[in-house]
Amino acid sequence: MCNSPFSLHGSHLAPFLYFHTGKMLANIVFWIFVGCTAINCGYAVFLFRRIFKLRPAGPCVAIRLQQCVSVIICARNEATNLKENLPLVLKQEFKEYEVIVVNDHSTDDTSAVLRMLQSEYPHLKVINQTNDQLPSGKKAALAAGVAASTSEFLVFTDADCAPAGPNWLVFMADPMFRGKDIVAGYSGYIQQPGMLNTFIGWETMHTFLQYATYCVAGIPYMAVGRNMACTKAVFLDASRSRIWSRLPSGDDDLLVREAANGNNMTIVSHPGAFTMSSPVRDWKSYRAQKQRHLSTGKYYKPIPRFLLGVYSGSHAAVWLGFLVLLGTQWYAWALALMYFRCMLHWSCWFNAAARVGARSLIKFFPFADFAWMLYNFALSPYVFFKNKTTWK
């Protein structure tokens, strides 16, 4: 039988089909890469570059001297952290304020540490929720702390957080005196050696860049409960919503969801307003922590939830497309577009890192950029998982 070059079994047609099929697939991947790169760059241009507009405003000293503020800390088995960090909260340069620590069913020396500090600091108020008949969990502890507060202005932090300095409370409370209902600050982690710590530092900075610029754009969607403030009226309104009781924690994001808008929430980016804490030390603990944090994402409002999903999806598609195109005829275009995209995003990251005192992360941007794709593949599914029933 004649072996025609047009036969499917011919020796000439198979390489021809293979070559043109591969070329066609490369073209498809290239144009998907171009589209996703454009989308990803759009986030840098229209959202993240707003970080340059964020100004670390100073406090209004004349007003703050006439106001009272309640600082609320919920603690469970935090004896060591309270002994180290609580004195820093109790020594703020503020005329009139109270610190309320809710001891939520602790089984360590938390009660003893709080009694010792109470004897030294009269403005420390302790609520011991140790009776098994009392409700347990972060939400219940917060409710008890707010109910015991005497001020209409509330500032929240955690037992494992240390304020940046003696004016931390001034910076966090001042926007409320100026008329804002919700104040979101930055809460970072102490920099330590190791790949995990480096990524945690970058991811924390990157999260700040997102929620800060979304807020500036009038689309607030989250705050960090380790360093935030709100009026008592806003907290009580949010806690009465139907969605509030669905999670044992997530109070920060749910409060923003229920009460924040483009006018009543602000970001405080002054270094004096930061808090710092020690990061987890192993990947297992980090995964558990992020599982708890990410599970709140399903409760964001539709617009920020959509925008966040498109951003992470386009980011992953850009990196995957780039890696594939390096082995095709489009490699030069892929390199050029990726360079442009990285410079655009990294300029925003540079500003955010400098703003939060994390310039040492700058040299790790390429690693962190790629690692965030892996992070999303590994952890984003937790957004759809059932929420954990405990907060500790």
CA distance to 13, 91, 209, 298, per residue, from 311 (Å): 42, 42, 13, 16
CA 89 to chain centroid: 22
Q: CA-based diameter of the chain, in Å?
A: 103
Residue type, 103: N
> So what's the pLDDT on residue 285?
84
**Rounded to an integer, what distance in angstroms lies between the CA atom of residue 279 and that of residue 281?**
6
Considering the entire predicted model, what is its pTM? 0.88
Q: Is 181 in contact with 259 (CB distance < 8 Å)?
A: yes
Interacting residues of 126 by C-beta distance below 8 A, sequence separation 6+: 100, 101, 103, 114, 115, 118
Nearest to 104 by CA among 70, 71, 67, 142: 142
> So what's the pLDDT on residue 174?
92
The confidence band for 140, taking pLDDT boundaries of 50, 70 and 90, is: confident
Q: Which fold has domain 55-300?
A: Spore Coat Polysaccharide Biosynthesis Protein SpsA; Chain A (3.90.550)
Each residue's pLDDT tens digit, 4-49: 444 444 455 445 444 456 678 888 999 999 999 999 999 999 999 9
Burial of 122 (0-12, 13-18, 19+ CB in 10 A): exposed
Q: Is 82 in contact with 114 (CB distance < 8 Å)?
A: yes
Segment 294-307 shows an average pLDDT of: 85
Domain span(s) for CATH 3.90.550.10 in the chain: 55-300
| pLDDT beyond 80 at 136 | no
Query: Beta 187-189 vs 275-277: how paired, if at all?
Result: parallel
Give me 278's structure tokens: 């020690």
Interacting residues of 125 by C-beta distance below 8 A, sequence separation 6+: 98, 99, 100, 101, 148
